[in-house]
Amino acid sequence: MQERRCNPGIPGADMIAVKVKGVGMDPAQNPLLLLIDQEETMVLPIGIGLSEAQAISLKLEGHVLPRPLTHDLILSVCSNLGARIEKIVVTDMKEGTYYAEIYLNQDGQDIIVDSRPSDGIALGLASGTPLFITEKVAENTLPFEEVLKQNLESIFDEGEEDEGEVDDGDEENPLH
């Protein structure tokens, strides 16, 4: 059973283990990375760039490219330098921007590297490294069941709206 919470040695920095649920699009068609806790009770949507979304999607789908992507390169550099990637932590959100850290260990020395969450998570997927969010970041999560319900409602609402346009007697509707 995977550990749900851990403390990185920083006071008040309890962390929650998460996994990548997937990559999707928000209503404005911007890519979103969806992190979910191990019990699948809460979701953290993080806006990411298109290239990062593609890199993460390729990893999730198991694609192996003939040339390394950035996270593959970083993994190779770490390996060749004898550094082990221990965990990726989404640590904070300031002014709508999430921050992450990559925890490395080289010859018994801990090294923490600042990272964008999308880069850290792509690296975590490539290396099989555990992913975490801090309790502070968890305050920005949404209940998974609420997200699921909203998605189902939006799917069915869209269908009802389309039918409504045909049957509502709107004079501007050319179908009437």
Provide the mean pLDDT of the chain. Answer: 82
Within a domain: 63: yes
Residue 149 lies in a domain: yes
Q: Is residue 41 part of a domain?
A: yes
pTM value is 0.77
Residue-level pLDDT at 135 = 95
State the distance between the two ends of the chain, measured CA to CA, in whole angstroms: 60
In a domain, 172, yes or no: no
Q: How far apart are CA 76 and CA 54, in angstroms?
A: 20
- Residue 81 makes CB contacts below 8 A (sequence gap 6+) with 106
Cα–Cα distance, 29 to 9 (Å, whole number): 39
Does 141 map to a domain?
yes
- As for how many domains the chain has, the answer is 1
Higher pLDDT, 159 or 47: 47
- Domain with 125 in it: 5-164
Asked if residue 94 is part of any domain, the answer here is yes
- According to DSSP, residue 61 is labeled T
In Å, how far from its chain's centre is CA 13? 20
pLDDT tens readout for residues 14-35: 899 999 999 988 888 899 999 9
pLDDT at residue number 26: 85
The yes-or-no verdict on residue 169 having pLDDT over 50 is no
- Contact in structure between 43 and 21 (CB atoms under 8 Å): yes
In a domain, 175, yes or no: no
- Report which residue type is found at 6: C
- Residue 157: pLDDT band with limits 50, 70, 90: low
CATH of the domain at 128: 3.10.690.10
- The arithmetic mean of pLDDT across residues 104-132, rounded, is 95
